[in-house]
Amino acid sequence: MRKEHSTNAMNEQFLFGVCELNSAIAVISGRWKSQIVYSVSRGYNRFHLLKRELPNISEQVLGRQLKELETHAILVKKEIAGTVPIGIEYILTNKGLDLVPILESLCNWGKTYEGKEIAACR
Amino acid sequence: MRKEHSTNAMNEQFLFGVCELNSAIAVISGRWKSQIVYSVSRGYNRFHLLKRELPNISEQVLGRQLKELETHAILVKKEIAGTVPIGIEYILTNKGLDLVPILESLCNWGKTYEGKEIAACR
DNA sequence: GCAATAACGAACAAATTTGTTAGTCTAAAA
DNA sequence: TTTTAGACTAACAAATTTGTTCGTTATTGC
């Protein structure tokens, strides 16, 4: 858990106060997060689909990251009506949708300056 | 140091291969980094100016973050001619300059959806 | 009845990041 | 001549993130 009064935590709060940029980056940082947002935006919007897309992630970690994205209101869980057992899909909120083009810019920026890899972004 | 063959490090590599987005985010993540880029872009381009802008950062941490930004070619160090002792200023590279508008989008995105704080972004 | 799939949660451990302590070097100011 | 400012580096410690192990619930297929 968070220490709340550690220098680190207080510095984080300080930066959040300096500019929203810092809280924005805090939301999208983290090992799998922006890739999950990106994958969901392309239709991989169920737990097992994401698992298949990101074979190296463990279910526990995937669940945790999804919950954090939900906490930050980037996506919401939705039960798929008429499925038994109840299927769940993840839907990007407006906040999440607005994030996607920014992630695309970041992707292009990365491609421009690192180049050469097979670009899987589109 | 990096363990190089830890699951964590390998997952990071995996993501780097999936999409440049992930390496881009790796570059701008980190407690003070994007704020430093932003501050440098607004002219706070010397060690002591950055220290004044970010009073909570320790010199050691500031030096480390600047070095990492240099490693990722976001900025370069430049000696200021004719100063004794030699003054040093930090200059954004093209890569760094191209990043700034993306950081601005992130900032605006943050402001749109979190709102209410005094926006120090401009 | 027994395994498999979909979707996770809690607790603990390993890895990584962030901050701290101590110290360097040069030159001008007090 | 002792202090101060600018610009840092190395090594270690604290905090935080990421991954692992074990367990759950419910239903369909064999």
User: CB within 8 A of A39, min separation 6: which ones?
Assistant: A49, A50, A53, A54
Say if residue B8 is in the same domain as residue B50: no
Per-residue pLDDT tens over the stretch B65-77: 999 999 999 999 9
Question: Between these two residues, B118 and B31, which has the higher pLDDT value?
Answer: B31
Reply yes or no on whether the pLDDT at B5 is more than 50: yes
Mean per-residue pLDDT of chain B: 88
**Which residues in chain B have Cβ-Cβ distances shorter than 8 Å to A20?**
106-111, 114, 117, 119, 121
Say if residue B20 is in the same domain as residue B57: no
Say if residue A3 is in the same domain as residue A53: no
Reply yes or no on whether the pLDDT at B120 is more than 70: no
Say if residue B44 is in the same domain as residue B90: yes
When pLDDT is averaged across residues B42-55 and rounded to a whole number, the result is: 93
CA dist., res. A34 & res. A27, Å (int): 9
Interface with A, mutate which of B14, B21, B36, B111 (most A CBs under 10 A): B21
Say if residue B19 is in the same domain as residue B48: no
Reply yes or no on whether the pLDDT at B121 is more than 80: no
Reply yes or no on whether the pLDDT at B19 is more than 60: yes
CA dist., res. B98 & res. B78, Å (int): 19
Percent of chain B with pLDDT over 70: 91
Say if residue B16 is in the same domain as residue B47: no
Statement: the CB of A77 is under 7 Å from strand C: yes
For residue A59, give the CATH number of its domain: 1.10.10.10
The Cα-based distances of A58 to A10, A31, A63 in angstroms read: 31, 12, 9
Query: Per the structure, how many domains does chain A have?
Result: 2
| Residue A87: per-residue pLDDT | 83
| Residue B1: per-residue pLDDT | 65
pLDDT less than 70: residues of chain A: 1, 84, 115-122
Give me the domain span that covers residue A95.
Answer: 31-121
| Residue B3: per-residue pLDDT | 76
B35-52 in b/e form (b: 16+ CB < 10 A) is: bbbbbbbeebbebeebee
| Residue A116: per-residue pLDDT | 37
Say if residue B73 is in the same domain as residue B105: yes
